[in-house]
Amino acid sequence: MSLTRKRALVTGGAGFLGSHLCERLLRDGADVLCVDNYFTGRKDNIAHLIGDPHFEAMRHDITFPLYVEVDEIYNMACPASPVHYQYDPVQTTKTSVIGAINMLGLAKRIGAKILQASTSEVYGDPTVHPQTEDYRGNVNPLGPRACYDEGKRCAETLFFDYRRQHRTRIKVARIFNTYGPRMHPNDGRVVSNFIVQALRGEDITLYGDGSQTRAFCYVDDLVDGLVRLMATEDAVTGPMNLGNPVEITVRELAERVVRLTGSRGALVRRELPADDPVQRCPDIGMAKRVLGWEPGVALEDGLARTVEYFRRMLRERGSLAREAEPARAGG
């Protein structure tokens, strides 16, 4: 690592958001250390970065201490899809809580700035809509989502206590549903599920009646928000909502994916998972005011790019439905 470049540590750097963040930081001229235990992340996500002299990948679980020298820490490590974070809920809480303690301890020891990838899930099933940062949330501490929601809430507490007690320079981003290339095809999140199902010619699974809402942010916009938040002066800590405030129902999302892919699959209903939030949409007034940030990629464009990514992946695996191949001129 050089002495003149900024040195950034990205935990969870081989995951969906983390790998895009590593790429962006390298483009901005940083030395990047990617740390991941590859639970939900994949080496494929960072394969194109290996060989870059300013990039280094390290297999490590952040529930164990880490001793490295960096200037900035982006703490992204944590499974993010309900299927994955509920697979081993105790490990999910450990990653959020013990992982935060380890990364905050590192930041304190070396004087680094540290940003936490928190989540809209801290608002639970919200009774305030859209969600503003001062809303304290409506989380069920005993339900199947609690390992993630309460883990992330405790991590936020730790961040603010490290700031009060040790003057650690912290930033907390509350990330709302983000999608794009490199989502795991089997991670169960709605955008990847719908696109993969559509491209395979399978039925599209609506949980409940599909009237629940979400607001979807394209990955490049989100990463830009994270980088801008990290660059703010020390007085800016957040928590700050980052997401795209265009709210749609899950059913509308399914219909758009069907239109984009030409899928012949039907929309079929499945049981709604416990504690699934009824509505979610960020108020991004603070991010606009403080960072001069707002998303620029429309859902239609972001979905089209994501469809292309999964189309290529499924074609390589031989599981693309014939009708999902784009029509060829003269063909």
Applying CB under 6 A, which residues contact ligand UDP?
81-82, 177, 188-190, 193, 205-207, 212, 214, 250, 273, 276
206 binds, among ligand NAD, ligand UDP, none (CB under 5 to 8 A by kind): ligand UDP
Measured CA angle at 240 (ends 236, 245), to 5 deg: 145
Member of 168, 178, 192, 213 binding ligand NAD (CB under 6 A): 178
Q: How many CB atoms lie within 10 A of CB 222?
A: 27
77 lies in the binding site for ligand NAD (CB under 6 A): yes
Member of 177, 193, 213, 263 binding ligand NAD (CB under 6 A): 177
Minimum separation from the CB atom of position 327 to ligand NAD (A):
32
Using CA atoms, how far residue 31 sits from 4, 5, 46, 132, in Å, is: 9, 6, 15, 34
Minimum separation from the CB atom of position 193 to ligand UDP (A):
4
**309 is an active site residue:** no
Of 79 and 82, which CB lies nearer to ligand UDP in the complex structure? 82
Q: Which long-range contacts (CB under 8 A, 24 or more apart) does 65-70 make?
A: 65/102, 65/105, 65/106, 66/35, 66/102, 66/103, 66/106, 67/106, 68/9, 68/33, 68/106, 69/1, 69/7, 69/110, 70/7, 70/8, 70/9, 70/33, 70/110, 70/112
Of 95 and 261, which CB lies nearer to ligand NAD in the complex structure? 95
Catalytic residue among 74, 85, 123, 148: 148
Residues that bind ligand NAD (CB under 6 A): 11-12, 14-18, 36-41, 61-63, 76-80, 95, 99, 117, 119, 175, 177-178
Which residues does the annotation mark as catalytic? 148
